[in-house]
Chain A
């Protein structure tokens, strides 16, 4: 019998050596140390594509080779935000050199509305133009340059109308993309009326461009049965499959969608990757040619939606100690021109308007304002961050009002025994973790000593002011659309013992495929190198949910585990009956590439390769599918009550900043993070998510400023004008740790917790620290108003305002 053939023996050995090299090699590798012998779930294995990334061999959409006669698509986008398209003259476009096809709404064979959940997203403008950047027509040519040059030759006749750009005004006029939703618990009116004192405030929270480094891209190849093969950079292949099929008017099974990897997604490729695939598919079917479509950066930024800007306000009843007794919070999400995912996003903002604090008797209202901008969409946190910002603003405000340190006020308001039910009726399980986390971080970051030091420093420094803030995160895990909480996997074992696992999740850099391979390796007692993922494909695992809501590993990992454990049990049954002398079924296990049965003298070991080959020869199926659906969760929109989340993930961060109050310039001097991932599936990958999420969240609240001109045209439409954090924004001291010893209280995948989104909100501490520094200008007696992003401009103007008031 042959034993297992290693897939890539040399490089696996090399990798292991590299890995050993890291172990204990000093402080640089602090978070990469692997305490486990095998690189299975729980170990800090490298990203499955790491070597391909660093050598340039990892293939992204635009790297895929296509036949010589492949077509390249450029889009004609609306230059105005609102108006009526009265005439579209495209003759010159059609006659331009290299142009093969030009399509408009009239050329769409099937559905023309590609709204993902609710209708409202026309694939091309019919008459009504709803935002600057909306797609009017598409040109296919022999080269991208020819297509882009041809687009410029179109003559547009547009009856331009004033654009609605103020979501507060449109919400007030009930110009909304979806109805307002309200969550209420207790008699909040009476609580407010009878309060010892009330406090109120408001905040504008800016949006955020995803700025995935790989812009939207797809390649569509026509197939023989009137169908198409779609390669796309995409978080939701099944939805793209559905929409492409509907646009073409063909059955779903004629469309196959494949995603190997994305060059970043962050939510921006959940619904907003589909339109391009639909357009390319129409052209591919019309011309019979492979069709390439990728958006140049500025078009990507103008055409696609972003994180929702929010206008939030609160009125809270507090006691003398600053503890919230009840209140009324309103969040207004700027949804752009269509619903897209905004219903669920504003819901999630409402679900997180409490963050880690009990609101008592409270009402939370969420409006979905319609404006003439691109349809705002999913972005890491999905509205949660915007919801949390209002209560974090309130915490600082309460602290200034009652004259206590903001950390003291935060801790007093944490969910605790007797105050553990949210305004939407869910009990906060593991609420004690909040206290544990914050107590630990308070000590490890030396919060109180630094607080005193900063007060002393500020008293002696008129211009440079330091600020310090600790903010917590409590983030609900599960899709709030219940049906999305399901996943599938397909596992094949080949006769050399190598394994192919496919699942419904997509890889966008978060290390999902690495984790899934680790799960399968652990279930089958194999080395990670035996397990491979090819790509996410709709013909392997059907009807999948988007890779979103931090759910990728939770859902797909459980499905993969289901498949692997079913296959393992089948092999155990077979082995127990097959091998000579019989194997002890009881206690049978797969470890270190062996099936092991019995103990002591009677122990029998059968190599994995031999087991697999024997099973094959005896006609035992070596393929298995897995499935998972999250239990327990429910939410009643009519009552605004339920248990929408399977569990909560927690975290906390402390930031110290130095602010130049004359120029508004600032530096983040030190950050300490402690984050809860339950039992980590891969500490190195989880740390990467925590750190990357923190910096992205910090960017959202500091330098990343979206700007539209008065006519509604996005003017921050490239990296020259839209500034995401760069190397120098990494805090000088950045201590990041995972909370250990606290497994998930729910039966999640090996008691781990989702890690994609929650750390994003840790970045709030930087904003709060900036406010703290500014508050020192008035001896901490005022709570500075600081909308976000807190650019140097906003910080300087706030500082000026405080100084002028003080004079």
Chain B
């Protein structure tokens, strides 16, 4: 077990805990700090929201303490609900919650206060209009079963009026620390948590500890611990690997685009997507919650190979590439060759996903991303359709369509694409495409939707596409859901 050192509400703290300890367990069970609550232990309710500031980040960001490894606190500053009020004076977020009657049973309240705190911090640093979209992003990951959210909205809007006289410790420098290292040799069951800082260290560790699990945001991995009680005692943390943290403009395979490090979080990816792929950016707002987007990574979403991961269908439609690295070097392959079967990928035993290449959209190319789920925010797709095309002289070209939730893997709809490619925007083309789509996918029924629904709604998305092209002035979708 490694010793971790971090700041806890300004106080230097050292802990010695097993690798599969979450921040929530550390707080509640080891440190006796019970202000942070467990609502679900799966990162879906936000009751355990805390804020963290890393050595590189300019301000505190929210995360779910229940699914974040405590060891990732090493060298960072953790702020919990206990740290906000000073000398009997409440933080503006807390005061606003009291004044607006924002708590009823109070169990979700510490988490909501922490989400409001991070919003308030952002506003203090860079004031910007609190649009409904921003409030939704800030609060969508915090479930409240009592209030119905109106008073929480009022609290978010009214807390801005007061600034926080932050205690000095908020800006305290991080404790000097060296990344956690793994011993040269360790037995299969020895507890280890390693924090490589270079890609070569990472691939060396990968080779050395083949049974260890790679962890980045832990937003999915940690559920194996909290929900299925799997022992996660050998972990290699990829979040400190320098090569995995960058976004670089580049030309690859004769196409301009961007290499995105596998460890880049959704939040870090957002500015690029906002500028170059607005439809993808819009999807990002509906992917998990702010707490999850602050931790989850693009590499994790791909390597996880879930059939209902949100980014793979989009990346497939964009013709993205994935770079895999091992001790001897790296190789790049089209993402469409990466997903082999349910949760099975082309990743070899000693390989890691290092980067993803996202080609730039051609000037006349269009990307549409349509996610269907039971709830608009913080829900997993029943079906996700991504559509890429150009209209050339009234004819569809470069048609690439990919679906999540329709097969065992995120999958291109090749026959559907073929039915549309080179065809005019006409009802007949799209009816042919709908027939092709029905034939090439055999989705399953599960908790998120029946097979029948998935079939029907996927073909309806083609009709939506047709209508959006043929009657461009008509509203054919609700823009809170789709762009």
**Chain A residues within CB distance 8 Å of chain B:** 10-11, 14, 18-19, 21-22, 28-29, 32, 44, 46-47, 49-60, 62-63, 65, 145, 148-149, 152, 210-215, 261-266, 296-298, 461-464, 508-511, 658, 660, 662-667, 684-685, 687-688, 691-696, 703, 705, 707, 715-716, 718-721, 723-730, 732, 734, 736, 791-793, 796-797, 800
Contacts and interface: CB of A to CB of B under 8 A. Distances in A.
B13 interface: no
Interface in B76-94: 80-82, 84-85, 88, 90, 93-94
A55 B39 CA distance: 17
A667 B481 CA distance: 9
Given A55-B84, A720-B380, A724-B145, A510 B110 contact: no
B476 A28 contact: no
Given A213-B145, A718-B40, A734-B150, 8 more contacts: A32-B101, A54-B110, A54-B113, A58-B106, A213-B108, A265-B105, A667-B478, A796-B456
B374 A792 contact: yes
A70 to B, nearest CB: 12
Top 3 nearest A-B pairs (CB, nearest first) are: A56-B35, A509-B105, A263-B107
A734 B154 CA distance: 12
15 contacts: A47-B103, A51-B98, A56-B80, A213-B143, A297-B41, A297-B42, A461-B474, A462-B467, A509-B104, A723-B379, A726-B377, A728-B136, A729-B377, A730-B150, A792-B372
Contacts of B153: 727, 730
B164 interface: no
Interface of B: 28, 32, 34-42, 44-45, 47, 80-82, 84-85, 88, 90, 93-95, 97-110, 113, 132, 135-136, 139-154, 157-158, 226-227, 229, 370, 372-380, 382, 446-450, 452-453, 456-457, 460-461, 463-464, 467, 474-478, 480-482
Given A56-B81, A297-B41, A791 B374 contact: yes
Given A18-B98, A46-B98, A691 B150 contact: yes
Contacts of B375: 703, 723, 725-726, 729
A29 B94 contact: no
Contact of B145 (A266, A730, A732, A796): A266
Nearest to A63: B34
Interface centre among B47, B90, B104, B456, by most A CB within 10 Å?
A: B104
B105 A691 contact: no
Nearest to A682: B101
A368 to B, nearest CB: 27
B37 A214 contact: yes
Given A28-B154, A463-B467, A663-B372, A800 B42 contact: no
B478 A464 contact: yes
Contacts of B47: 213
Given A28-B158, A62-B34, A297-B40, A727 B453 contact: no
A642 to B, nearest CB: 34
B447 A716 contact: yes
B105 A214 contact: yes
Contacts of B98: 18, 46, 50-51, 54
A36 B88 CA distance: 27
Contacts of B90: 51, 54-55
A11 B90 CA distance: 11
Contacts of B460: 662-663, 796, 800
Nearest to B104: A509
A783 to B, nearest CB: 22
Contacts of A210: 145
Given A214-B37, A464-B478, A797 B453 contact: yes
B467 A47 contact: no
Nearest to A698: B148
Nearest to B25: A145
A301 to B, nearest CB: 10
Contacts of B151: 688, 691
Contact of B107 (A10, A21, A214, A707): A214
A691 B158 CA distance: 19
Contacts of A57: 35
A796 B147 CA distance: 30
B474 A263 contact: no
Contacts of B101: 32, 44, 46-47, 50, 684-685, 687-688
Contacts of A463: 464, 467, 474-477
Contact of A65 (B32, B81, B148, B150): B32
Contact of A665 (B34, B106, B372): B372
A724 B95 CA distance: 27
B140 to A, nearest CB: 5
A54 B80 CA distance: 12
A261 B106 CA distance: 9
A266 B151 CA distance: 19
A211 B135 contact: no
Most buried by B among A148, A210, A263, A718: A263
Nearest to B231: A149
B395 to A, nearest CB: 24
Contacts of B108: 213, 263
A726 B34 contact: no
Contact of A726 (B378, B452, B478): B378
Centre residue among A55, A210, A213, A510 by max chain B CB count within 10 A: A213
A266 B107 CA distance: 14
B97 A54 contact: yes
Nearest to B144: A213
A727 B135 contact: yes
A707 B445 CA distance: 11
